[in-house]
Structure 1
């Protein structure tokens, strides 16, 4: 085997070192991620520049890049909290969150990669305890679920705004009461529903009775007015009109004028 020229050995060493440097310097940021640059000899975490975006980057081999997911993420929490009367309630809730992109350096510097456990979980638990403590189990079970969801979101969001985290939504998926309390509430709600149905039937019956009374009163008033307006002369005229119409019938044979009672015409039929 021929010996390598003396000049070839340094070239090979330089090439190997270059490959190592390039390998240490090359950073690829994936989809939905961003990188925080840490300068070993330049002041540590870079907070006055935007984070490194998706794609390929070259950095000095003595620096470091910490990659964070910047997509929306979900936290699922089961929390045991106390209602206003001291009963233990279990709340199942989800929180949708993501780090504030342009504050990613500050997030890393102040909270680090464990920011979920350091601030988000404590924030949502604190908000849930505060909000649920304002309501009774009955309110939580029936009418106030949407309200507590909105209030937990508002209180958690207020805490996280100072922690470089953006909260998009809080969803209360389930409220679990002690079995005995749940059964008592369901019985009470059933009784209330039955009472409302009974009241509705009474109101409907009363309205129907009032309608019949008004109709009957209207008919009575109409008959009274009609009776008061009828005189003997009017009745006689109407009788004559009716007699004339009957006389036009082919079944009528003889009309004797003035032969009936009260002076009305008398109609004699075929028989």
Structure 2
């Protein structure tokens, strides 16, 4: 702006430097002012400040210079134009929720799965510019590179890879594998165009309603089967416990039977009959055995 004002002032001074002009005496002053403005304008254009997290790309009459300007103060040709590029981590979101993504309205990605079903995906791409590649990006794509690189590449790669998976597997068992393959494919494309892909987030996968109902039914059936398996396992454990308990009782009885002798049995019988004889309710006790009977009265 100062350059234009200074140039205008100098031109005006020459116009006023006319003997017939009543303002001729001011032409010299105006010329000096114009020169001062030109000098100030040149100085202001020659020193450029680049903000932190940015690099500057210089263009002179349509020619883009390959070197970039770093953050801080830089001395440049006053005639060049400086375009700042953000080299910090940026995100580009494509979502079906209104106003959540970079584009207004429903911007979710719709792709066909291997089994011919339409799958809807919400995606966030985290990326940054390689500083040294900023001049090439500006030269080849301009400052709207996100709509030229980030958006179309991400959407195309997702559609291409989704065709290799069945819809249900994308929703469940193959989701992480699918995301990793997308990352690998997009990373190569980004790198060749001067971008670094830092992270890719498949935030949501929506299946057709009929498939969702089928999945819910399958999950309920699996949960019921797991419940029955638990009950059967518990019953088996209880049956095993009873079998072990019965075996223990049988073993005990077998051992006890094998260790009893006639003397021991006779001794136990005498003790029992003695206790009976000593009872107040007993009237008569008959002791019997192979040797004969013995009558005992209280």
Q: Structure 2 length normalisation: TM-score?
A: 0.71
Picking from 61, 64, 69, the partner of 2:78 is 61
Structure 1 residues 229 and 67: alpha-carbon distance in aligned structure 2, compared to 1, 3 A threshold:
same
Quick check: 1:106 aligned with 2:106? Answer: no
Q: Identify the range of structure 1 (162-171 vs 190-199) with the bigger mean alpha-carbon deviation.
A: 190-199
Distance 1:88 1:127 in 2: 16
Structure 1 residues 211 and 11: alpha-carbon distance in aligned structure 2, compared to 1, 3 A threshold:
same
Structure 1 residues 52 and 232: alpha-carbon distance in aligned structure 2, compared to 1, 3 A threshold:
farther
Q: Identify the range of structure 1 (173-182 vs 86-95) with the bigger mean alpha-carbon deviation.
A: 173-182
Structure 1 residues 260 and 103: alpha-carbon distance in aligned structure 2, compared to 1, 3 A threshold:
farther
Q: Identify the range of structure 1 (224-233 vs 32-41) with the bigger mean alpha-carbon deviation.
A: 32-41
Report the Cα offset of residue 219 of structure 1: 2.4
Quick check: 1:97 aligned with 2:127? Answer: yes
Give the match for residue 65 of structure 2.
46
Give the match for residue 88 of structure 2.
71
SS at match of 1:86: coil
Structure 1 residues 11 and 217: alpha-carbon distance in aligned structure 2, compared to 1, 3 A threshold:
same
Give the match for residue 136 of structure 1.
166
Give the match for residue 255 of structure 1.
none
Give the match for residue 23 of structure 1.
44
Quick check: 1:34 aligned with 2:60? Answer: no
Give the match for residue 175 of structure 2.
145
Report the Cα offset of residue 235 of structure 1: 5.2
RMSD: 3.2
Gaps in structure 2 of 5+ consecutive residues: 1-24, 95-107, 276-285, 292-297
Distance 2:27 2:204 in 1: 77
Picking from 211, 229, 235, the partner of 1:199 is 229
Report the Cα offset of residue 39 of structure 1: 4.5
Q: Structure 1 length normalisation: TM-score?
A: 0.77
Distance 2:118 2:126 in 1: 25
Picking from 111, 119, 144, the partner of 1:81 is 111
Report the Cα offset of residue 129 of structure 1: 1.3
Higher normalized contact order (CA 8 Å, seq sep 6+, divided by chain length): 1
Report the Cα offset of residue 237 of structure 1: 7.5
Aligned residues: 245
Report the Cα offset of residue 125 of structure 1: 1.3
SS at match of 1:46: strand
